[in-house]
């Protein structure tokens, strides 16, 4: 929270600082420009528009436009025989909400299975990652000797591509692999069943817990030592210090880490796809379901699944930001308990869907 930002609201209340606002008098703009950075002026507004618009343009093309297209596409059916004429259609027929009706009707079993798999994976992996990540961060924070080694090794799982880590775990979980040799049992990990879920969860947690550990460590390092000293003088034990001081103070960092991990886990694809395989009931996630439909040229249903997943992710993100006050932009608005800032951000999310 050592930003150079002016108090919230200043920018919005300053009419001349309008985003894309035009300067009527160039001379005045030049004078204003001299006032230095950090203050809204017509000059900085115009400059900001110039600097920001290419990014917004690209994101509109690669994110917003496809999202709208997915919405539209989800209302169309597949090419095929026209039941009325018996001819093969060359265009896709408009079917309204039929794709959605099918998802909750005919195909509901597969959909709900994928939905619960996605939710189960997210809750369990993020839960385990948080516990392991916090434990790792506590160890790293205390360790002075061997710190460089720990920090180097903790980046390794993060740097391994997910697809490669899936192959690696597929090998570890092979019927004659090291995992079975270690537990002394013959488990067919990568076949249908609950053990396949366990395999996916272990592989996912291995790769991502260190990431949470890193973010929490960064949060730990900014807690002043005096706070702990004061607590010790007041008679708090190690456990009391952890619950009353460490956890509340790393909460903002942890919350952002957990939010990012949740949203990432909700779109899980590579790991179950490679580790266990496509079209496997035990591990099929919503992303896999949508991709499977699209690769079979059933774009309508695929788009409908994609839209549902999108809404699910959006609701979870909104929940985090509104209920828990996760400070995503990193400029400390929510941490300061700034209600208006939080509301403004929520409007931001809303605008994205309706736009």
Partner 1 sequence: MTASAKWRARLLYAGVAAVVAYCLAPFYWMVVSSLRRSSDVFDTSLLPSAVSFENYRAVFEPSQGFTRALGNSLIVAGVTTALALLLATFTAYAMARLEFRFKRLVLTLIIATSMFPVVSIVVPLLKLFTDIGWINTYQAMIVPSMSFALPLAVWNLTTFFRQMPDELEQAAMIDGCTRGQAFRKIIVPLAAPGIFTTAIITFIAAWNEFLIALSMTNKQAMQTAPVAISKFSGATQFETPFGSQMAAGVLVTVPLVVMVLVFQRRIVAGLTAGAAK
Instruction: Write out the two tokens for 138.
Output: 């506590």
- What does the H/E/C string look like for 290-334? HHHHHHCCCHHHHHHHHHHHHHHHHHHHHHHHHHHCCCCCCCCCC
Q: 234-273: which residues touch partner 1 (CB under 8 A)? A: 252-253, 256-257, 260, 263, 266-267, 269-270, 273
CA neighbor of 136 nearest in space, from 106, 159, 114, 157: 157
Which residue of 83, 84, 88, 159 would you call a contact of partner 1, by CB under 8 A? Answer: 159
Cβ at position 140, least distance to partner 1 in Å: 7
Helix (H, G, I), strand (E, B) or coil at 88: strand
210 lies in the binding site for partner 1 (CB under 8 A): yes
Cβ at position 281, least distance to partner 1 in Å: 19
Q: 162-181: which residues touch partner 1 (CB under 8 A)? A: 162-172, 174, 176-178, 181
191 lies in the binding site for partner 1 (CB under 8 A): no
152 lies in the binding site for partner 1 (CB under 8 A): yes
Which residue of 97, 143, 230, 315 would you call a contact of partner 1, by CB under 8 A? Answer: 143
306 lies in the binding site for partner 1 (CB under 8 A): yes
- Tell which phi-psi region holds residue 337, choosing left (phi > 0), alpha (psi between -120 and 50) or beta: left
The single residue listed with the structure tokens 């706070």 is 227
Which residue of 113, 119, 241, 291 would you call a contact of partner 1, by CB under 8 A? Answer: 291
The contacts of residue 23 (CB under 8 Å, 6+ apart) are 29, 42, 43, 46
295 lies in the binding site for partner 1 (CB under 8 A): yes
103 lies in the binding site for partner 1 (CB under 8 A): no
C-alpha 179/C-alpha 173 separation (Å) is: 6
Cβ at position 271, least distance to partner 1 in Å: 9
Q: 19-58: which residues touch partner 1 (CB under 8 A)? A: 19, 21, 33-34, 36-41, 43-45, 47-49, 51-52, 54-56, 58
C-alpha 22/C-alpha 19 separation (Å) is: 9
């Amino acid at each position: 929270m050592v930003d150079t930002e002016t108090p919230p609201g200043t920018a919005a209340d300053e009419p001349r600082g309008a985003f894309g606002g035009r300067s009527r008098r160039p001379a005045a703009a030049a004078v204003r420009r001299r006032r230095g950075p950090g203050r809204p002026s017509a000059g900085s507004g115009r400059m900001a528009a110039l600097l920001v618009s290419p990014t917004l343009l690209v994101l509109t093309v690669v994110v917003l436009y496809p999202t709208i297209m997915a919405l539209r596409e989800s209302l169309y059916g597949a090419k095929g025989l026209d039941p009325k004429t018996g001819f093969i259609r060359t265009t896709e027929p408009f079917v309204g909400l039929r794709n959605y009706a099918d998802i909750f009707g005919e195909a509901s079993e597969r959909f709900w299975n994928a939905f619960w798999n996605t939710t189960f994976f997210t809750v369990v992996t993020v839960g385990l990652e948080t516990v392991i990540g916090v434990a790792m961060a506590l160890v790293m924070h205390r360790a002075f000797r061997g710190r460089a080694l720990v920090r180097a090794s903790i980046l390794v799982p993060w740097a391994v591509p997910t697809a490669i880590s899936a192959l690696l775990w597929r090998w570890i979980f092979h019927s004659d692999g090291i995992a079975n040799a270690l537990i002394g049992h013959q488990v067919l990990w990568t076949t249908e069943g609950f053990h396949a879920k366990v395999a996916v969860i272990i592989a996912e947690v291995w790769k991502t817990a260190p990431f949470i550990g890193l973010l929490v460590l960064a949060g730990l390092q900014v807690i002043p030592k005096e706070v702990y000293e004061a607590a010790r003088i007041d008679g708090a034990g190690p456990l009391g210090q952890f619950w009353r001081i460490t956890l509340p103070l790393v909460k903002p960092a942890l919350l952002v880490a957990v939010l990012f991990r949740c949203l990432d886990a909700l779109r899980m694809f590579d790991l179950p796809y490679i580790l266990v395989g496509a079209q496997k009931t035990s591990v099929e996630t919503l992303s896999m379901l949508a991709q499977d439909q699209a690769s079979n040229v059933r774009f309508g249903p695929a788009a409908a699944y994609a839209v549902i997943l999108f809404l699910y992710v959006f609701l979870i993100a909104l929940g985090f930001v509104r209920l828990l006050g996760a400070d995503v932009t990193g400029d400390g608005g929510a941490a300061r308990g700034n209600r208006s800032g939080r509301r403004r951000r929520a409007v931001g999310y809303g605008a994205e869907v309706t736009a």
